[in-house]
Chains A and B, each alone.
Chain A
Amino acid sequence: MIMDNEKKIRPALEVHDLTVAFDRKPVLWNIDLAIPQGKLVGIIGPNGAGKSTLIKSVMGLLPLSSGYIKLFDRNLNDVRNRISYVPQRESVDWDFPASVLDVVLMGRYGKLGLFKRPRKADRDVAMDCLRKMGLESFMNRQISQLSGGQQQRTFLARALAQQADLYFMDEPFAGVDAATEKTIIQLLRDMTNANKTVVVVHHDLQSVTEYFDWVIMLNTRLIAYGPTEATFTQENLQEAYGGKLTLLSDVGDLIRRERFPNREQPSKQQMP
């Protein structure tokens, strides 16, 4: 029981003084935040605010200019099996020669390890996830023949197959019809009810209060984060969307032009 309590207290995600740069220009400045377990969290902000960059940095896909990230109070590499990442749908070439089942089975590769082929048990898990996403009748279909919504569901089924505790999803509602969006949000609800944590990059401001327990509001820097009703305020929205901070952007451009390092000392925690 005490163990259980401890688990609940530990934040699922803790970001400390995170700065991330592309071609030296910072796209995220000094982000500090912590997300408790069992929440459905939306990352909100205008285009180019660094929403995808934030979750890519958390997943170790980008080098950090400064700061560190803890997941369940551990380093990413120690808890890989508990973390799942859903990339943007457009990030892959869907004309790849693979079936829906092939893609969902990829969710098992982390648990399988090198050299090993998927076993019967992995197939069972994959089939179960396909069913949850309503894709069982498409399992043998080539992935280029799917609609956008079906492709998105394929990616989500792959993430489910990882059986993780913490999910990062990059725009899972992009190109998805209203009915699919409802199915997905219901699934995410069920997951958070089972004390899983789901962090979602989200675009549609209309549905924020309806969908999310917590929000992270970004525009290059962190505007606010916390429970939706306290955080998703007119004031914060105004700050996130109300025009760029031109000074911040100008300084970023200057750093790139001058080939200047982001920190006098390079960050201790680089890419794993």
Chain B
Amino acid sequence: MNSFYEFFSFADPNIRFVVIGAMLLTASSAIVGSFTFLNKKSLIGDAIAHAVLPGICLGFILSGTKNPVFLIGGAFLTGWISLMAVDFITTRTRIKEDSAIGLILSVFFGIGIFMLTIIQKSGNAAQSGLDNFLFGKAAALVGGDLYVFGSVAILLLVGVYLLFKEFTLLAFDKNFALSLGLPVKKIELVLTSLIVLAVVIGIQAVGVVLMAAILITPAAAARFWTDNIKRMILLASIFGALSGVAGAYISFTAPAMPTGPWIVIVISTIAMISFFFAPSRGVVSRLIRQSAIRKTINDENVLKTLYQLGEDNKDFLVKRHPLEILRRRKMPPKRLNKILNRLQQQGYLERSDAFSELTEEGKTRARRVVKIHRLWELYLTTKLNIAPDHVHDDADTIEHLLTPELEAELERVLDFPKVDPHKSEIPYDDLRNEERNTKYEV
């Protein structure tokens, strides 16, 4: 707990550096990655991430130091070569993109590991720490390195800011962008360069192996929360930054631990939470909506049954025993009791002892359900030529679903009919009745 306080008070300037650095790297990667996600090119990010390893080794071999400028330069180079190789394979051969990505990813990563091993065996003292690029080490972000990585991160943000409109259009409708005469090839080139750069700087915190997670997962998680692209990208950057802080904290408390796996676990947890709990798109909210719908259907069915019981002698406001309802509509008595309680709470029923009676509001709602049911049966038989014995089940669903606008449309299309295909009367509320009567008088 002590280290927790020490870390999050940010008193130590080193900690401040590492935290800001890690946040900047992960957030900017998440922002650029949002466009790979929207372009449905998520795997490309993975290919680049693995392909930068030989470049890093190359940069080290050529310069003999871990100077980030050389490492970034080398990584950028092989990252780009891998992309061109994927592009070449997909356009010039019959191999499809996913296979090409698989091929290139493994070849480049294999070469990278090969070079890394040679460097480690070479006895060069400067090489220690190079393997941090495999799984990331946020704590290594200090001093001069931070300025280099930080400037690249800011370059990414500026790039996305300037070309936001173009990147968005290309992701949505590339053919339209081409038809406008936009320099699509050049814009794609810039976006790809930004993605390569995002990978190159992101690997400091996350490592090449897990880099794809920080490109794609924040955007995928953010998509659950919003339908607005600006908000989505903002959220993705926040999620990315949060995972970056987590990585930095781990790096601080457990220096032997690589940061990449921790960042991935944090961002994946955020994604899981989004997947389950995001409003409207999340799984839980969908289940809640489903259950609300089921309740509505159950409630309206009981109201409908009470209404139908009253139809025989045109008296709807009568005390009914649950057994009367159960005789018409089979269900577990416990469930019926629950439904009756709910309807009473909502003011559609009065209950005294075991008996239930529709209120005026309950009668209106029940009548509407019965009306829509019979109108829909009539619509299916007269307009769609469906046999009268096939329409009941369909109408049983539609009666709970129709909006007032569609209800009015249905009445209009059928011209306010009086009876359904089974000769049951179609009940209208009094206002509508008047409307109908005047209509026939004219």
Contact assessment for B163 and A114 in the assembled complex, using a CB-CB cutoff below 8 Å: yes
Point out the residues of chain B lying under 8 angstroms from A225, CB to CB: none
Give the contact stretch, choosing among B130-138, B178-186, B320-328: B178-186
Point out the residues of chain B lying under 8 angstroms from A102, CB to CB: 229
Chain B 212-233 against A: per-residue CB contact (8 Å), 1 yes, 0 no? 0000000000010011110010
Contact partner, A97, options B165, B180, B232, Cβ 8 Å: B232
In the complex, what distance in Å separates the CA atom of A110 from the CA atom of B165? 11
Within 8 A of B (CB), among A245-267: none
Point out the residues of chain B lying under 8 angstroms from A47, CB to CB: none
> Nearest chain-B residue to A81 (Cβ)?
B181
Main secondary structure of the interface of A (DSSP, over half): mixed
Interface size class of B (residues with CB under 8 A): 20 to 34
Within 8 A of A (CB), among B158-186: 162-163, 165-166, 168-169, 171-173, 175-183
Contact assessment for B227 and A109 in the assembled complex, using a CB-CB cutoff below 8 Å: no
Contact assessment for B182 and A110 in the assembled complex, using a CB-CB cutoff below 8 Å: yes
Tell me, yes or no, whether B38 is within 8 Å of chain A by CB. Answer: yes
Give the contact stretch, choosing among A83-91, A125-133, A180-188, A231-239: A83-91
In the complex, what distance in Å separates the CA atom of A99 from the CA atom of B227? 8
Point out the residues of chain B lying under 8 angstroms from A59, CB to CB: 175, 178-179
In the complex, what distance in Å separates the CA atom of A74 from the CA atom of B188? 28
Nearest-neighbour CB distance to chain A for B37, whole angstroms, equals 10
**Given the known A-B contacts A97-B223, A97-B227, are A61 and B175 also in contact in the complex, defined by CB atoms under 8 Å?**
yes
Contact assessment for A142 and B227 in the assembled complex, using a CB-CB cutoff below 8 Å: yes
In the complex, what distance in Å separates the CA atom of A97 from the CA atom of B229? 5
Point out the residues of chain A lying under 8 angstroms from B228, CB to CB: 97, 99
Nearest-neighbour CB distance to chain A for B402, whole angstroms, equals 16
Contact assessment for B181 and A110 in the assembled complex, using a CB-CB cutoff below 8 Å: yes
Point out the residues of chain A lying under 8 angstroms from B182, CB to CB: 109-110, 114
Point out the residues of chain A lying under 8 angstroms from B181, CB to CB: 76-77, 80, 110
Nearest-neighbour CB distance to chain A for B265, whole angstroms, equals 26
Main secondary structure of the interface of B (DSSP, over half): helix
Contact assessment for B179 and A91 in the assembled complex, using a CB-CB cutoff below 8 Å: no
Contact assessment for B178 and A61 in the assembled complex, using a CB-CB cutoff below 8 Å: yes
In the complex, what distance in Å separates the CA atom of A137 from the CA atom of B217? 34
In the complex, what distance in Å separates the CA atom of A168 from the CA atom of B166? 22
Point out the residues of chain A lying under 8 angstroms from B40, CB to CB: 93
Tell me, yes or no, whether A60 is within 8 Å of chain B by CB. Answer: yes
Residue of A59, A80, A83, A98 most packed against chain B (CB within 10 A)? A98
Tell me, yes or no, whether A15 is within 8 Å of chain B by CB. Answer: no
Nearest-neighbour CB distance to chain A for B275, whole angstroms, equals 16
Contact assessment for A115 and B175 in the assembled complex, using a CB-CB cutoff below 8 Å: no
Tell me, yes or no, whether A117 is within 8 Å of chain B by CB. Answer: yes
Point out the residues of chain A lying under 8 angstroms from B229, CB to CB: 96-98, 102
Residue positions of A touching B, CB distance < 8 A: 56, 59-61, 76-77, 80, 83-85, 87, 91-93, 96-99, 102-103, 106, 109-110, 112, 114-118, 142, 144, 158, 162
Residue positions of B touching A, CB distance < 8 A: 38, 40, 162-163, 165-166, 168-169, 171-173, 175-183, 223, 226-229, 232
27 residue pairs bridging A and B, Cβ less than 8 Å apart: A56-B175, A59-B175, A59-B178, A61-B178, A61-B179, A76-B181, A85-B175, A85-B179, A87-B175, A87-B176, A87-B179, A91-B175, A92-B173, A93-B40, A97-B227, A97-B228, A98-B172, A98-B227, A99-B228, A110-B180, A112-B165, A114-B166, A114-B183, A117-B165, A118-B165, A144-B227, A158-B176
User: Given A83-B179, A87-B175, A97-B38, 8 more contacts at CB 8 Å?
Assistant: A59-B178, A61-B175, A80-B181, A98-B168, A110-B180, A110-B181, A115-B162, A116-B165
